[in-house]
Amino acid sequence: MLAVLQSVARLVIAILLSAERGPVLDNPVSDEVMMFINIMFFVLGILGLLTAFGLWTEKRWGYLGTIALSLVTIAFDVWAVLAVQSSAAFGIVFPVVFIVYLALIRHDLARGEGQ
C-alpha cells in the first residue's frame, strides 16, 4: 500500500507542477528542466503502480522492478536536491525503506520463491 501511495503522490505532484499555478520551486529552472521533472514524476508514478502490483501478487519482476525503480528514484531525488531544491531529499526516504525491506525481509522474492 505504501508503494501505491507513493506512486499516486508522484502523479499528483506531476499534475500540480504542470499546472499553470503549480508549486513554486526554490530555484527557478528552465522550461526544459521543468519538463524533465514532470516527465520523471509521471514515469516514476506509473512504473511505481506497475511494480506495486507485482509486489502485491508476489511476482519476482515486481521485486526486481521495485528495487530498480527505487534506485532510479534515489538518483533522481539526489539530482533534484543538488539542482532544484533541498526538500527533494524527502523523496529519498521511501525508496531506501523499500530497498531495505525487500532485501532483508522479502529476499524470498529475489529467489523467485514468492507464492
What does the pLDDT look like over 57-95, one tens digit per residue? 988 898 889 999 999 999 999 999 998 888 888 889 989
Q: What percent of the chain has pLDDT over 90?
A: 32
Rounded CA separation 11/82 (Å): 22
Rounded CA separation 21/37 (Å): 16
Give buried/exposed letters for 51-90 (b at 16+ CB in 10 A, else e): bbebbeeebeebbbbbbebbeebbebbeebbeebeeebee
Amino acid at 55: L
Reported as a single tens digit per residue, the pLDDT across 15-68 is 887 776 555 677 778 888 888 989 999 999 999 999 999 988 988 898 889 999
Rounded CA separation 89/99 (Å): 16
Q: Who's near 77: CB < 8 A, 6+ residues apart?
A: 88, 89, 91, 92, 95
Give the pTM.
0.82
